[in-house]
Amino acid sequence: MPLRLERQENVSGLRLALAPLLALVFTLIVGAIMFVVLGHDPIRAFGIYFVGPLLDPYTLQELVVKAGPLLMIGTGLAFCYRANRWNIGAEGQYVAGAVVGSWLALVTHGTDAGPWVLPAMLVMGALGGALWGLIPAFLRVRFGSSEILTSLMLVYVAQLGLDYLVRGPWKDPDGFNFPQSVTFDANAVMPLLMDEGRLHGGIILALVAVVVATFVLGRTLVGYSIEIGGSAPRAAAFAGFDERRVTYGVFAVSGALAGLAGIIEVAGPIGNLQPSISPGYGFTAIIAAMLGRLHPVGIVVASLVLALTYIGGEAAQISMRLPFDVTRVFQGTLLIAILAADVMVRYRVRRVEGTSHA
Amino acid sequence: MAENVPANALPASLLEAVGLTKRFGALLANDHVSLAIRAGETHALLGENGAGKSTLVKMMCGLLQPDSGELLYDGAPIVFPDPATSRARGVGVVFQHFALFDALTVVENVALGLAGHEPLATLAARIEDCVHRYGLSVEPYRRVGELSVGERQRVEIVRCLLGNPRVLILDEPTSVLTPDESESLFRTVDLLTGEGRAVLFISHKLDEVRRLCHRATVLRGGKFIAEVDPKTETASSLARLMVGAEVPRTPRSVTHALGEPRLLVNKLNVAGDGSRGSALHDIHLEIRAGEIVGIAGVAGNGQTTLFEALSGEKPVVDQEAIIIDKVAAGGLGPTERRALKAGFVPEERLGHAAAPDMRLSDNVLLTTHGDGEIVRLGIIRRSALLARFQEIVKRFDVRFGGKDPKARRLSGGNLQKFVIGREVLREPVLIVVDQPTWGVDAAAAAFIRTTLRQKAAEGCAVLVISQDLDELLEFTDRIAVMSEGRLTAPVPVAETSREAIGLAMGGAQAAGEGTHAA
């Protein structure tokens, strides 16, 4: 007997708000099953994974360090997704920003160029990410190609480009042939916010981005044009908003924020350019954006939750010898659960007898 | 025939609704509504928009389930869990919006709707048979994309009739038809009831109901108001039942001097995109301040393209082809044209004139964001927006449940009042309206026409594109006819007649079909 999804007209705000919580619960249930299958006590595993990190001041700081890039990228993605433009390539824009910003750090290396280097790196990182993001926007506007595919494929281009640079021209000559650049000078690294730990200025920039994005999306004509372009394209054209400009705009913003997150990470906790500069922030931020209901404030909360899966994953690697892939499973399950919860809230499943075409 | 039957010898009721009640949140859409459709009769369902007609029809065919009350079929209680079941039991519905695939032929479209696998040739023969029997004029092997709206409707009717329904429900069938096409539909309906089938006929056009129907049920505000014999009623007494008050007639052309030309269309050409009747050829039009010009024509003859070319949504190459208030506007976009104090109201309310899933207040911004009042320096002034929203709601009597619902939750008539009000309060010097009263109840339609009439009296130029000829004759000053992407020169209403315009519409269409056949 075939099943059919029917859109429900009257969906209360409460149910929409509950959907992410439902998704979290579902993810935890799947996680428990996974731990049992792997032969671990799920209670203990959850303790190590999700509770332990919250009890230690150092890991609490790490939580914020990890949440910073997620919420910065996720906030940018909210622009795209609200406009119904599916930028899946934030990871590539993150790498592109890191590379372009790092270039300045490398050419000024050892020259004692002055305090302008770090701000200039951040600007260049944002520009690099924006330009990388504008490629799928251009391909979509000009040729109608799916931005989902092009933005995703550009991730691999960016990653391989970075790989080439740190193994080739940008390799540290005194680095014992390790594939990495020189360590950045003091004027090219993010200032730390506390004496101990790795908490750096990036989180402040990320929160500024959240505040600005909340204002732009909620209170300005630009935010309105993004919203209506995603919700009713024909009405948006009637209102006089140019679909192409919106497409370029949202890709530029989300690319810039991803690029900024990239250069901040390189100039912050990492300190030089290396082949792997991201534990998949660009992809995890997609989950943060969806889990946070495409609202910057929601994305802050979602980013903290997802950062916890990173930190917990590291703890589990150490104390339970679980592979890091467990974190990936958590994140993936969470994304599927949030998407499914959305469908379940907005639609209802009905059985249909026979087939109907009317 | 039926009006002569004494009340104690009513024909047997085929499908009967008994005390159906349906509630959507705070809105009581149907409140204990009862209705009996009898064999051999055409039963009219009358009511304003939002009166609950659609809800009732949807419950009678299984698209919606009633909260309470029941359906009787042949006198026995029945539940239709979905439309497929009701169809199988002999209740066919032709909805206002057709479910046909343009790229397929008529017979392929019909085959898709049938259970089982019937060879197309056999099916085509059955279609021919049905067409012949009911005078429907449908060619089975034509592609649906080439058909006029009237022909598509006949395809839907044929599709329904092949299931041999005992009850046929027609949802506002004549709103898309020329006068001639309507006449032939009425003949078909008479043949169907002559065979003992029952027809439920939903319409706003009171004259049609009086001419065609044996019985009429009037709904108002979700409640059953009366069951009357339309033949003994007058159009105005029926309207009174529907509205609950006297329907104001649009005041006839106020005499005032015409002013400057506000809209000049000069040799406007727009290339088609391949679908039927979408190109525009050499359009000329002048509208002066203070007059209302109507464009009549059957849907799909280029009216939508013309509207989009005027509103700036469709690019126009020649800058001088469109002149709004003395400014060459061909190359300007919608916002820039609105800055010239032009206002536009498209035909499709949901998705074009309004974003269905956005709040009504946010929909105010759609056309007012460039006026400098609600949005300043790119920032939305929420208080100004809400003030304008409340002004529209109050002055144009827009009714809805809740404080600020999504646009899709409004009834058609109320959303139309909102959309018109949104433009009128911008104080435009030119208003272009496509189908101002499409699917709108009589009271709201009268209100909208009066509003436009009044704007014209205040010196606004008004262009009305409509398929409702009666409406155009009632309140415009000059009428032009659009067919196959060409526009005739506008003629003063006093110097023309319904028949002349109907002929121009129908004649042009017949000529167009000739070229298709060739």
List, for residues B28-76, the tens digit of each pLDDT value.
888 899 999 998 899 999 887 667 888 899 899 888 899 999 999 988 8
Residue A352 lies in a domain: no
Q: Residue B296: pLDDT above 50?
A: yes
Spell out which residues of chain B touch residue A235, defining contact as CB-CB under 8 Å.
351-355, 366
Nearest Cα residue to A190 out of A288, A312, A98, A284: A98
Q: Which of A219, A232, A354 sits opposite B115 (nearest CB)?
A: A354
pLDDT of the residue at B393:
95
Whether residues A232 and B382 touch (CB distance < 8 A) is answered with no
Whether residues B81 and A353 touch (CB distance < 8 A) is answered with yes
Residue B392 lies in a domain: no
Whether residues A235 and B112 touch (CB distance < 8 A) is answered with no
Do B11 and B40 form a contact (C-beta atoms < 8 A)?
yes
Q: Which of B87, B313, B358 sits opposite A237 (nearest CB)?
A: B313
Could you tell me if B75 and B125 lie in one domain? yes
Spell out which residues of chain B touch residue A84, defining contact as CB-CB under 8 Å.
none
Nearest Cα residue to B416 out of B394, B399, B391, B428: B399
* A41 interfacial to chain B (CB closer than 8 Å): no
Residue A125 lies in a domain: yes
Q: Residue B219: pLDDT above 60?
A: yes
Q: Give chain A's residues under pLDDT 50.
A: 354-358
* Domain total in chain A: 1
Q: Which of B25, B335, B351 sits opposite A10 (nearest CB)?
A: B25
Picking from B243, B275, B304, the residue at the C-terminal end of a domain is B243
- The token pair at B469 is 């000829």
Count of H helices and E strands in chain B? 16, 23
Q: Residue A22: how many CB atoms within 10 A of its CB?
A: 17
* Domain total in chain B: 2
Instruction: Report ipTM (2 d.p.).
Output: 0.84
Q: What is the mean pLDDT of residues B67-95?
A: 88
Could you tell me if B238 and B281 lie in one domain? no
Output B315 or A169, whichever has higher pLDDT. A169
Cα–Cα dist B84/B108, whole Å: 19
Binding-face residues of A in 234-273 toward B, CB within 8 A: 234-240, 242
Domain that holds residue A200: 3-346
pLDDT digits (tens, 9 = 90+) for A284-294: 999 999 989 89
- The token pair at B477 is 């000053």
User: What is the Cα B54 distance to its own chain's centre?
Assistant: 14
Whether residues A238 and B366 touch (CB distance < 8 A) is answered with yes
Cα–Cα dist A192/A198, whole Å: 7
Percent of chain B scoring above 90 in pLDDT: 32
Cα–Cα dist B455/B292, whole Å: 9
CATH of the domain at B192: 3.40.50.300
Whether residues A235 and B365 touch (CB distance < 8 A) is answered with no
pLDDT digits (tens, 9 = 90+) for B447-459: 899 999 999 988 8
pLDDT digits (tens, 9 = 90+) for A162-202: 999 999 999 998 888 889 999 999 999 999 998 888 899 99
Residue A353 lies in a domain: no
Residue A358 lies in a domain: no
> How far is the alpha carbon of B491 from chain A, nearest alpha carbon, in Å?
30
* Measured CA angle at B79 (ends B73, B85), to 5 deg: 90
- Write phi, then psi, for B419 (nearest 5 degrees): -65, -40
Angle between helices A57-82 and A202-219 (to 10 degrees): 30
- Number of cross-chain residue pairs from A and B with Cβ atoms under 8 Å apart: 95
Whether residues B351 and A224 touch (CB distance < 8 A) is answered with no
Could you tell me if B271 and B330 lie in one domain? yes
> How far is the alpha carbon of B4 from chain A, nearest alpha carbon, in Å?
38
Whether residues B379 and A238 touch (CB distance < 8 A) is answered with no
Domain that holds residue B329: 261-350+429-517
Could you tell me if B216 and B112 lie in one domain? yes
Picking from B243, B269, B290, the residue at the C-terminal end of a domain is B243
Residue B367 lies in a domain: no
Spell out which residues of chain A touch residue B370, defining contact as CB-CB under 8 Å.
240
CATH of the domain at A109: 1.10.3470
- Write phi, then psi, for B163 (nearest 5 degrees): -80, 5
Output B258 or B308, whichever has higher pLDDT. B308
Q: Are strands B292-296 and B461-465 parallel, antiparallel or unpaired?
A: parallel
Could you tell me if B236 and B265 lie in one domain? no
Tokens 């009714």 map to which residue? Answer: B399
Could you tell me if B109 and B169 lie in one domain? yes
Q: What is the mean pLDDT of residues B140-163?
A: 84
pLDDT of the residue at B514:
35
pLDDT of the residue at B517:
34
- DSSP code of residue B319: G
